[in-house]
Structures are given as structure tokens and as C-alpha cells.
Structure 1
Amino acid sequence: MFQIFLETLPHFLAYFGCAVGLAIGFLVLYVMITPHREFALIREGNAAAATQLTGTFLGFAIPVAVVIGNSVSIPDMLLWGAVAAIVQLVVFFVIARLVFRTISDRITEKCVASGIFVGGMGLGIGVLQAACMVP
């Protein structure tokens, strides 16, 4: 039992390290493309921004978790993880630029409903995306 653990630990660390790297990269890119500054707003106690960013991050993390469980290699996981990130960026673009053009302002103004909507849409699309990523 302990031998199997030692043999598989490097595999776990490699996948986990890549997943954390993907997550950090996604968060950095996501907060750069949104017009509002999520981390500053969260530091100020803005629940709308926290809800929006948390839901979006979960919408990214769930597909990545599914991909990790089904990928054949780390490059395969990284490629599908990038797809998950792109989908979440498109979700925000569609919501903020095409459907509700003032939603970013509403989140900045602490409208929790707007944060729940954006985060919930990201989470919902992430769940659908995860289901589609299983071979």
C-alpha cells in the first residue's frame, strides 16, 4: 500500500501543480478582462464581486477536475483546461457585452443579484462543459 502511494505521489503532484497553475492563470486573465476589479471590491466587502468571482472560478474548476480524471496526459489536461478557461471568458463576454451591458457597474455597486447571476451562469455553463468533456 505505501509503495503504491510513493509511486503515484509524483503523478498526483504533477497534475495538482498543473491544475493550480491553470487556476492561477485563469484567475489572473479573468480579472484582467473584466471592467471591475474583483479583488479590490472583495477586500472592500463587496459580496456581489465575491459571488461573481467564486461562481466563475467554480465554473472553471469543475471542468478541469473532470478533465484531470479523464485525461491521458498532462498536456491533454492542460489543453482541455485552456478550453474551460476560454469558455468562462466567453460566458462573461456574452453576459457583460451582449446581454446586460451594465452588469459590471451593478457588481461594483454591490448588487448581489448581479453577482449571483454572473457567477451562477459561469457555474452552470461549467457543469455543462464538464459533462461534455467526458469521453
Structure 2
Amino acid sequence: MFAYFLAALPHFLAYFASAAALAALFLFLYSMATPHREFALIREGNTAAACQLTGTFIGFCIPVAMVIGHSVNLADMLLWGLVAGLVQLAVFVVIARFLFKAISDRITEGCVASGVFVGGMGLGMGILQAACMVP
């Protein structure tokens, strides 16, 4: 049992470190791609921005977690993780450009409904893509 643990530990560390780096990269790129600055707004106590970013982040993490369990190797996991990030960016673009053009302004103003909507859409799409990423 202990020998198995020692043999599996490097794989765990590699996947976890890669997933954490991918998650940090996603948060950075996503926050740079949106018109509003989520982290600054959250520091100011903006609940709408917190709901939006949290839902989107969970919507990213769910498919990455699914892919970790089913990927054939680390590169496979990273590629599908990039797909998960692109889907989350696409969700925001579709909402902000086609459905509710002022949603970024509404989040900046602290409209919790807008933040929950964007975060919820990101979470829902993350669940759907996680289901699609299983071979």
C-alpha cells in the first residue's frame, strides 16, 4: 500500500501542479479579457463581480477535474484544459456582445443579478462541457 502511494505521488503532484498553473493562467487571462477588472472590484466588495468570477472559475474547474480523471497523459489534460478556458471566454463574449451588451457595466455597478447570471451560465456550460469531455 505504501509503495503504491509513493509510486503514485509524483503523478498526483504533476497533475495537481499543472492543473493549479492552468487555473491561475485561466483566471489571469479571463480577467484580462473582460472589460471590467474582477479582482479590483472584488477587493472593493463588489458581490456581483465575485459571483461572476466564482461561477466562471468553477465552470472551468469542473471540466478540468473531469479531464484529469480521464486523460491519457499530462499533455492531453492541458489541451482539454485550454479548451475549457476557451469555452468560458466564449460564454462571456456571447453574453456580453449578443445577449446583454451592458452586462459588464452592470457588474461594475454591483448588480448582483448580472454577476449571478454570468457566473451561472459559466457554471452550467462547464458542467455540459465536462460531460462531453468523457470518452
**How many Å apart are 1:2 and its aligned residue?**
1.0
Counterpart position of 1:4? 4
**Structure 2: 5+ residue runs without aligned partners?**
none
**Structure 1: 5+ residue runs without aligned partners?**
none
In structure 2, C-alpha distance between the alignment counterparts of 1:28 and 1:41, rounded to whole Å: 15
| TM-score, scaled to structure 1 | 0.99
Q: CA RMSD in A?
A: 0.4
User: Aligned pair count?
Assistant: 135
1:95 alignment partner, SS class: helix
Identity %: 74
Moved over 6 A (4+): none
In structure 2, C-alpha distance between the alignment counterparts of 1:64 and 1:43, rounded to whole Å: 27
The C-alpha deviation readout for 1:95-119, integer Å capped at 9, x for no partner, is 0111100000000000000000000
In structure 2, C-alpha distance between the alignment counterparts of 1:60 and 1:114, rounded to whole Å: 19
Letter in 2 for 1:68: I
Counterpart position of 2:102? 102
In structure 2, C-alpha distance between the alignment counterparts of 1:89 and 1:41, rounded to whole Å: 19
Matched, 1:73 2:73: yes
| TM-score, scaled to structure 2 | 0.99
